[in-house]
Structure 1
Amino acid sequence: MLRPYRELAAIPHLLSVLLWSMIGRVHLPGTPVAVSFLVAGWTGSYAVAGVVGGALTLGMGVAGPVRGRAADRSPAGRLLLVTSSGYGVGIVVLGVLPGVLPGPAWPLAAVVAFLTGLSMPPVTSLSRASFPRLATGPAQSAVFTVEASVQEALYIVGPALAATVVAVWNAQVALWLCGALAVSGALGFGGALRRAGLDRPVVREVGRRGRMLLRDGSLTLALASAFCVVASLVSIDMLIIAWARDLGRPAMAGVLTAVWGVGSVAGGLVVGGFVGRARPTRRILLMAVGVAPLVLVLPPVLEPSPVWLVGLVLVVGGTTIAPAIAANNERISGLSPEDRKAEAFGWMGTFTTAGSAAALPLAGSLLDHSGPAAAAGASTVAALLGALLASRVRERKAVPVA
């Protein structure tokens, strides 16, 4: 079981690249929390805070393929320096606006947030594109699984860090801390890539004409599967918050989300230790099976719902999340051309952002009119659709990089 992890440790520079890629991403789940507190305190409206936060996310999603294409064609260090500089300036400006402008000027903050999102350093897509250049076989499967597991942990640590800074200091400091982590993490990640000899992109074949990646049916199906997986997970996040608020115990949402994340991390680390080819369809189907029991333990199906029972279902079901995400990430890497992997993961960012944007209104409507069990049912359907799309993907052998 430990063989893949021993292989990971033996690969030069791999752990450094992985570590710095995570440092460069820890700000991602914390920034929306800081933005929400900052804008809500400025305008008195959580709806406006949602619009500004949504503008930031929209900018990230829209620019994903463009940043990825740039990463495939230019030195990583230079790209990370340019994007992190723009992102850092945007975060500073966003933090200053509430102190110098009245609340009705919030649309300017939405514009700044969108432009800031466009400039986000492409640490995620660059790191996922770099893994196949360092690891092959079981080690490659293991590194994708470890990456997915640690990312799940970041989605516990990031919001908790931002919320703590808001409580101890204020939302402006929390936002600027997230910005500082983004810039320093991106620059450190660039240094790790340079030391690993991965600063330069894969050389394209002479005379080769590129075409839009989405014309590849199998790759598009894998990206659509990622859309469904994220839609499913975002729906669960939202129903946990809504259910906890309805109980009059909003702090319980943080506890249950953490429990869910711990289950995901544990499941990912255990699965990553096994040798064998990852099967995305099976893993996403297992994720659907892990989500489905929530329908039976939430209102109006079971009312009142015992907190311990919901927590138990979340921690057990959570063990399927990181393995499913890792398997699909590895498949997307295998389906994309060697010289366009960063672009492919940029498109993945766009698809997952769209999945989140599509799921939130639907989950909210179901919570308002039918209750948490209905939102859990929709989450299960989304995961099943993701497994169906994954089953339609035709695998092909990856060509090794010379």
Structure 2
Amino acid sequence: MLQPYRDLAAVPRVPGLLTWTMLGRLHLTGTPLAMSFLIAGWTDSYALAGVVGAALMAGIGVAGPVRGRAADRRGAARLLVVTGISYGVGLTVIAFIPSLLPAAWWPVMAVAAFVVGLSNPPVIPVSRAVWPRLLKGPALNSVYTVDATLTELLYAVGPLLAAFLVALVSPAASIVISGALATVGALGFAKMLSLAGQSGPVPASTDGETRRDRVGLLNTPGILASLGLALCLVAALLMVDMTIVGWAREVGAPILAGVLGAVWAIGSGIGGLVAGGLSGMPRLTRRVLLNLLGVAALVPVLPPVFDPASPWLIGLVLLLGGAAIAPAAAAANARVGEIAPPERRTEAYGWLSSASTVGFSIALPTSGFLLDHGGPSVAAAGAVVFVVLGVLLAVRIPAPKPVPEPALS
């Protein structure tokens, strides 16, 4: 089981690329929390904080495919440097707007957040697109699993670090440090790409099928279904997060939300490590089905179906169900890289990031409505609906056809 990880570690530059891509993503998991504190403290309105946060995410989502296509056509390293510096400077400016303008000027902050989001460095799509050019076989499956597992860890660590900085210093300082992390991560990742010989544009393939694919990436069989799957999985996972938070607040023990979230992340990490060590092609539909079972198991252990609910039982369900998260995400990410034309993989992963952002935006109000009108078990059932849609979409994603890699100069 450990052999794929040994193969992965033996490939030059891959451990360094993994390290820097995770550092380059860390800011994304903590910035929304710091932004909420900053805007709510400035305007005395959590609703306005949500508007500004949504504007930032909208900018990031819009820029995803554009940045990905630019990386494919003109190379990723220079793009990462320019966007990394721009994004870091932009977040620093945002951090000081509340001290310079009255709260009535909050629309200026929303516009600024959207513009800054447009300059978000495309670390995620670039990193996911580069793995098929460096790795093959079990090692390639393993790197996508490690990627998904570490991303789960970032979503546990990032908000904690941001909250610590907010409490210890200020929300503005937390945002400035998020910007600095974005810049340092993007620059370090760009340097590692150069050392690995992957900093330039991806040469176009010459076969007829790939030339037709270049006419429209979204027309490639399976791409739209993959985007829909990403949207559904992200929406479902966020709805489960919100369900846990809502139940913890209902029972007057907010700390349980953090504890149960950590248990869920641990389950995902264990599942990811096991799945990454398995040989053979991952079965996407099977992994999404296992994810469905894990989410569905939450419905009968939450109120009003099971009241009062037991935190021990909820924790056990989250631990076991969480084991399917990272494997499903890894298989979905890998499948996009397999079915997308090689010279447009980064753009494909940019679209995938945008789809995830849309899932995030849909899940927040949906989970809030279901919690208000039905309770935690109903909100969990809403997450089940999204994963069911994900299963139906996974079935429509074709198995990859062998595509010759373009020669790299």
TM-score, normalising length: structure 2 = 0.96
Structure 2 residue runs of 5 or longer lacking an equivalent are none
Q: Is the 8 A contact 2:288 2:390 kept in 1?
A: yes
CA distance in 1 between counterparts of 2:37 and 2:375 reads 27
Q: Is the 8 A contact 1:241 1:250 kept in 2?
A: yes
Matches within 5 A, 1:312-351: 312-351=316-355
Q: Is the 8 A contact 1:222 1:390 kept in 2?
A: yes
CA distance in 1 between counterparts of 2:16 and 2:30 reads 23
CA distance in 2 between counterparts of 1:245 and 1:109 reads 30
- Tell whether 2:190 aligns with 1:190: yes
| 2:66 match | 66
- Tell whether 2:145 aligns with 1:156: no
Task: Give the C-alpha shift of residue 224 in structure 1.
Answer: 0.9
Classify the secondary structure of the residue corresponding to 2:202.
Answer: coil
CA distance in 1 between counterparts of 2:114 and 2:14 reads 33
Classify the secondary structure of the residue corresponding to 1:156.
Answer: helix
Q: Is the 8 A contact 1:297 1:310 kept in 2?
A: yes
Q: Which range is displaced more, 213-222 or 56-65?
A: 213-222
**TM-superposition CA deviations, 1:247-273 (whole Å, max 9, x none):** 122222122112111111111011111
CA distance in 1 between counterparts of 2:81 and 2:233 reads 32
| 1:259 match | 263
Q: Is the 8 A contact 1:287 1:324 kept in 2?
A: yes
- Tell whether 2:7 aligns with 1:7: yes
CA distance in 1 between counterparts of 2:10 and 2:50 reads 45
Matches within 5 A, 1:131-170: 131-170=131-170
CA distance in 2 between counterparts of 1:42 and 1:252 reads 29
Task: Give the C-alpha shift of residue 398 in structure 1.
Answer: 3.2
Task: Give the C-alpha shift of residue 246 in structure 1.
Answer: 1.3
Task: Give the C-alpha shift of residue 274 in structure 1.
Answer: 1.1
- Tell whether 2:232 aligns with 1:232: no
- Tell whether 2:36 aligns with 1:36: yes
**TM-superposition CA deviations, 1:76-108 (whole Å, max 9, x none):** 121011111221121011100111111111111
| 1:221 match | 225
Tell me the amino acid that sits aligned with residue 149 of structure 2.
S
Task: Give the C-alpha shift of residue 378 in structure 1.
Answer: 1.1
Classify the secondary structure of the residue corresponding to 1:344.
Answer: helix
**TM-superposition CA deviations, 1:8-33 (whole Å, max 9, x none):** 01111111111110010011110001
Q: Which range is displaced more, 109-118 or 252-261?
A: 252-261
Q: Of 354, 359, 372, which aligns to 2:376?
A: 372
Q: Is the 8 A contact 1:3 1:275 kept in 2?
A: no
CA distance in 1 between counterparts of 2:346 and 2:38 reads 33
| 2:50 match | 50
Task: Give the C-alpha shift of residue 386 in structure 1.
Answer: 0.4
CA distance in 2 between counterparts of 1:291 and 1:179 reads 34
Task: Give the C-alpha shift of residue 396 in structure 1.
Answer: 2.8
Structure 1 residue runs of 5 or longer lacking an equivalent are none
How many residues of Structure 1 are paired with residues of Structure 2 in the alignment? 402
| Superposed structure 1 runs of 4+ greater than 2 Å apart | 205-210
| 2:120 match | 120
Q: Is the 8 A contact 1:17 1:193 kept in 2?
A: yes
| 2:200 match | 200
| 1:18 match | 18
Classify the secondary structure of the residue corresponding to 2:304.
Answer: coil
CA distance in 2 between counterparts of 1:8 and 1:71 reads 24
CA distance in 2 between counterparts of 1:150 and 1:375 reads 27
| 1:247 match | 251
Identity %: 53
